[in-house]
């Protein structure tokens, strides 16, 4: 397999609004991040993915960009950004920027022009349609509730917005749009950035999305959702690769809701020259109750997870590359979701980290995951800030008459603000995040869960993650080895092996709080066996055919 630095790297995602505030306005900022680079260096990560820091009216916290070449005032200046990049590079950390080009803000100059008149030169930069029978052009819904179409009085037409009304979708069919995006990418790459995380990049081609338009006119359309992976998406990405990406030594990861392994091969197969890897969402959907509202969850069935992750491991081996993640700024905290955020918070967080970091792919750590931050339950909807959460509450409670308490349960399980509460640095007021009032309240458990505590405790989740990262650097088998699921029938233990050049890595993870006895399949002939890591400190290297695993226990053995 071809070797690449981005296959051997571990990425740390920073959500700047919630990371560290330097000036007391309650909003995290670039100088705040700069002040914490040594912390990231201690953890040992290789790359930072920075969620958007560009100028934005913040309808969706920076995912609505009004100027792609300026830094958001709340976050600092371009000079602060240059210093941050330099600070990272001095420490051997690469910087990946967020690229949000499926849509802009409605306050972006292009859209301000576009809505002025039907013959404005920028009209065709966005997707406008006349009303149909006096109403919206199709029945599609936005990811943030309500219609995906907004009526604009001024010209009497609708524009498409797959997300909020303030995030109109760009028209990628227009070559001027594509070239403008490519020029903007070069602007940042020439400043030295090391790659892009591309927001919903598999939604940029809309032809198929718009083609049922006629069916809708005839009253025969039935799909309420948009269709990702449209017909020209691969042309656009290949053009982007040819004109921009291929000219730099960078990494790319495309956020791609609604992809299967087969589709992902098309995005990430090196011969096709598109992207290095994508974020897929299948494992994030396994606890969704079918036929229910989007945030009504059920307990995870471990068989589903085994089957799903194994399928991805197999499918992209040699034919693409996986990204590995449990968390990001849109997902609830994994220790609360698939682990146990009570009695076994530390053990289960380490177990989940082990399961993920020993797989093939590039692991992503979301800020706070390395100290086991948990979901939050704020008492009232007014305590929440996320547009998706607020719109969903409005729609369910005020428009559909749902019971507010039921809706709050869904919000506790799945709200994006679970991931966005401020980073917990220490036990002082506001968790050391800000000297002022934070834009979103801190999780009340900050007095026990915080970075200062983690750094002072040799058994903390933080040092365990540091070890996981270090192992990936030391053993090629973790990066390049083949993957095979073992003990597929075991209901409570997720076990797998990796193999490379006669070595075997054995990964055992007890997913539950009961003790489990397992019988290992026959082990290969080997000279040495070694326990590389375990979340119970007293384990020894000795391995027997029958093993007992403690609650949430994880162990990794290397046989050579
Ligand atoms: O998210 C895309 C996306 O698919 C979301 O709809 C996500 O699945 C949902 O929020 C989960 O609850 C990206 C960004 O990561 C997100 O923060 C942005 O709001 C969105 O695009 C629009 O830019
Ligand atoms: Ca600030």
- Specify whether 2 is catalytic: no
What is the reported pLDDT for 197?
98
CA gap 539, 535 in Å, rounded? 9
Tell me, in angstroms, the distance from the centre of ligand 1 to residue 330's CA. 6
Domain that includes residue 133, residue range? 109-160
371 and 360 assigned to the same domain? yes
- Residue whose CA lies nearest to ligand 1 atom number 4: 257
The rounded mean pLDDT for the chain is 95
Is 264 among the domain residues?
A: yes
CATH number of the domain bearing residue 513: 2.60.40.1180
Q: Which residues line ligand 1 (CB under 6 A)?
A: 60, 63, 100, 143, 163, 199-200, 255, 257, 329-330, 388, 416
**Whether residues 305 and 195 fall in one domain:** yes
Q: Please, are residues 487 and 507 in contact by the beta-carbon 8 Å criterion?
A: no
22 and 155 co-located in one domain: no
**Catalytic annotation present for 8:** no
* Cα(360)–Cα(470) distance, integer angstroms: 15
The atom number, within ligand 1, closest to the CA of 144 reads 6
**Cβ neighbours for 559, distance < 8 A, ≥ 6 positions apart:** 503, 504, 505, 506, 523, 524, 526, 528, 529, 530
User: What is residue 396's predicted lDDT score, i.e. its pLDDT?
Assistant: 95
**Which of 13-22, 446-455, 541-550 has the weakest average pLDDT?**
541-550
Q: Which helix (H) or strand (E) holds 406?
A: helix 404-414
What pTM was computed for the model? 0.97
- Quick one: pLDDT at residue 391? 96
Q: What is the DSSP letter of 244?
A: T
Ligand 1 atom 2: residue of nearest CA: 200
Q: Closest ligand 1 atom, CA of 257?
A: 4
Q: Is residue 212 part of a domain?
A: no
**Closest residue to atom 20 of ligand 1, CA basis:** 63
Which ligand is the nearest neighbour of the Cα of 413?
A: 1
pLDDT above 70 covers a percentage of the chain that reads 96
Question: Does residue 226 sit within a domain?
Answer: no
**Per-residue model confidence (pLDDT) at position 224:** 59
Taking alpha carbons only, the member of 175, 180, 320 closest to residue 253 is 320
**How far separated are the first and last CA of the chain, in Å rounded?**
21
* Atom number of ligand 1 nearest to Cα 163: 22
Kindly write down the DSSP assignment for every residue of 41-83, as one continuous string.
HHHT-SEEEEPP-EE---SSTTSS-SEEEEE-TTT--HHHHHH
Residue 244, pLDDT score: 98
**CATH number, position 151:** 3.90.400.10
**Residue 218 pLDDT:** 57
pLDDT at 368: 99
Query: Is the ipTM value over 0.90, yes or no?
Result: yes
Mean pLDDT of 548-554: 97
Which phi and psi angles does 500 have, rounded to 5°? Answer: -160, 130
The residue from 106, 199, 274, 347 that is catalytic is 199
CA distance 432 to 371: 15
428 CA to middle of ligand 1, Å?
Answer: 32
In CATH, what number is assigned to the domain containing residue 446? Answer: 3.20.20.80
- Asked whether residue 316 falls in the same domain as residue 384, the answer is no
Distance, CA 331 to ligand 1 centroid (Å)? 9
Nearest residue by C-alpha to atom 11 in ligand 1: 330
One domain for residues 355 and 272: yes
Ligand 1 atom with the shortest distance to the CA of 388: 10
- Give yes or no for a contact between 297 and 288, defined as CB atoms under 8 angstroms apart: yes
390, 443: one domain: no
CA–CA separation, 262 and 471 (whole Å): 30
Average pLDDT over residues 143-149: 92
Residue 169 belongs to a domain? no
CA distance linking residue 412 with residue 393, whole number of Å: 12
Tell me, in angstroms, the distance from the centre of ligand 1 to residue 325's CA.
15
pLDDT band at 127 (very low <50, low <70, confident <90, very high): very high
- pLDDT at 219 (0 to 100): 56
Residues 507 and 540 reside in one and the same domain: yes
Rounded to the nearest whole angstrom, what is the distance from the C-alpha of residue 252 to the centroid of ligand 2? Answer: 29
Which range, of 181-185, 330-334, 402-406, 537-541, averages the lowest pLDDT?
537-541
For residue range 467-507, list pLDDT tens digits in order: 999 999 999 999 999 999 999 999 999 999 999 999 999 99
The answer as to whether 318 is a domain residue is yes
Among protein residues, the one whose CA lies closest to atom 9 of ligand 1: 330
Closest ligand to residue 279's CA: 1
Per residue in 168-205, pLDDT tens? Answer: 999 999 999 999 999 999 999 999 999 999 999 999 99
Q: What is the DSSP string of 267-279?
A: HH-GGG-S-SEEE
Over residues 81-103, mean pLDDT = 98
The model's pLDDT over 408-445, given as tens digits with 9 standing for 90+, comes to 999 999 999 999 999 999 999 999 999 999 999 999 99
Residue 471 covered by a domain: no
Burial class of residue 387 in the structure, from the number of CB atoms within 10 Å of its CB (0-12 exposed, 13-18 middle, 19+ buried): buried
Whether residues 342 and 193 share a domain: the answer is yes
Tally of structural domains, the chain = 4
Residue 521 domain flag: yes
Question: What tokens does 89 get?
Answer: 């590079």
d(CA 436, CA 442): 12
Residue 319 has pLDDT above 90, yes or no: no
Residue 263: inside a domain: yes
**Which residue from 57, 104, 199 has its CB within 8 A of the most atoms of ligand 1, so it is best to mutate?**
199
Catalytic residue chosen out of the listed positions 64, 74, 157, 255: 255
282: helix, strand or coil: helix
Both 430 and 414 in one domain: the answer is: no
Among the atoms of ligand 1, which is closest to the Cα of residue 60? 19
Question: How distant, in Å, are the alpha carbons of 51, 135, 249, 436, 517 from that of 17?
Answer: 9, 38, 29, 14, 45
353 and 497 housed in the same domain: no
Same domain, residue pair 142 and 26: no
For residue 320, the model assigns a pLDDT of: 92
Quick one: pLDDT at residue 437? Answer: 98
Q: Give yes or no: residues 78 and 190 share one domain.
A: yes
**Mean pLDDT, rounded, for 121-144:** 91
Task: Answer yes or no: is pLDDT of 376 > 70.
Answer: yes
Note the pLDDT of residue 207: 64
The ligand with the least distance to the CA atom of 415 is 1
351 alpha carbon – ligand 1 mean position (Å): 27
* Ligand 1 centroid to residue 256 C-alpha, Å: 10
Q: For a substitution probing ligand 1, which of 49, 200, 204 has the most ligand atoms within 8 Å of its CB?
A: 200
pLDDT in tens, 260-310: 999 999 999 999 999 999 999 999 999 999 888 888 999 999 999 999 999
């Amino acid at each position: 397999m071809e070797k690449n630095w981005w296959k051997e790297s571990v990425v740390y995602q920073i959500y700047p609004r919630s990371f560290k505030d330097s000036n007391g306005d309650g909003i995290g900022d670039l100088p705040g991040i700069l002040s914490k680079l040594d912390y990231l260096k201690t953890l040992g990560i290789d790359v930072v993915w920075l969620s958007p820091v560009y100028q934005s009216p913040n309808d969706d916290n920076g995912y609505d960009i009004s100027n792609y070449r300026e830094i958001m005032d709340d976050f600092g200046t371009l000079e602060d950004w240059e210093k941050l990049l330099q600070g990272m590079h001095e420490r051997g950390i690469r910087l990946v920027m967020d690229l949000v080009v499926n849509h802009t803000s409605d306050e972006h100059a292009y859209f301000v022009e576009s809505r002025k008149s039907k013959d404005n030169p920028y009209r065709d930069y966005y997707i406008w349609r006349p009303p149909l029978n006096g109403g919206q052009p199709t029945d599609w819904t936005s990811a943030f509730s309500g219609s995906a179409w907004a009526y604009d009085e001024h010209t009497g037409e609708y524009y498409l917005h797959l997300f909020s009304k303030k995030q109109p979708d760009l028209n990628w069919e227009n070559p001027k749009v594509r070239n403008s995006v490519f020029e903007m990418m070069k602007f940042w790459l020439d400043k030295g950035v090391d790659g892009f995380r591309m927001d919903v990049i598999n939604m940029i081609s809309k032809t198929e999305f718009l083609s049922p338009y006629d069916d809708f006119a005839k009253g025969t359309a039935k799909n309420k959702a948009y269709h990702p992976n449209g017909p020209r998406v691969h042309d656009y990405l290949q053009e982007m690769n040819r004109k921009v990406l291929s000219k730099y030594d960078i990494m790319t990861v495309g956020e791609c809701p609604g992809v299967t392994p087969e589709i992902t091969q098309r995005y990430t197969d090196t011969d096709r020259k598109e992207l290095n890897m994508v974020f897929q969402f299948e494992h994030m959907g396994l606890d969704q109750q079918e036929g229910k509202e989007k945030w009504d969850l059920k307990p995870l069935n471990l068989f589903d997870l085994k089957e799903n992750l194994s399928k991805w491991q197999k499918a992209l081996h040699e034919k693409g590359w996986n990204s590995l993640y449990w968390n990001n700024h849109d997902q609830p905290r994994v220790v609360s979701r698939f682990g146990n955020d009570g009695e076994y918070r530390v053990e289960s967080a380490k177990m989940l980290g082990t399961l993920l970091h020993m797989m093939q792919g590039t692991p992503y750590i979301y800020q706070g995951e390395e100290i086991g931050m948990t979901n939050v339950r704020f008492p009232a909807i007014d305590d929440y800030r996320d547009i998706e959460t607020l719109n969903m509450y409005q729609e369910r409670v005020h428009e559909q008459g749902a019971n507010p308490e039921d809706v709050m349960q869904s919000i506790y399980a799945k709200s994006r603000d679970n991931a966005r509460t401020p980073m917990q640095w220490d036990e002082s007021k506001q968790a050391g995040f800000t000297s002022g009032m934070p834009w979103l309240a801190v999780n009340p458990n900050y007095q026990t869960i915080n970075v200062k505590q983690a750094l002072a405790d040799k058994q903390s989740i933080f040092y365990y993650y540091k070890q996981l990262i270090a192992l990936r650097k030391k053993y090629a088998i973790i990066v390049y080895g083949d993957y095979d699921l073992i003990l597929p029938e075991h209901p409570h233990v997720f076990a797998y092996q990796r193999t490379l050049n006669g070595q075997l890595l054995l990964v055992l993870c007890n997913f539950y709080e009961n003790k489990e006895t397992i019988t290992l399949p026959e082990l290969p002939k080997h000279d040495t066996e070694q326990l590389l890591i375990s979340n119970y400190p007293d384990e020894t290297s000795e391995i027997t055919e029958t093993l007992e695993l403690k609650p949430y226990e994880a162990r990794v053995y290397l046989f050579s």
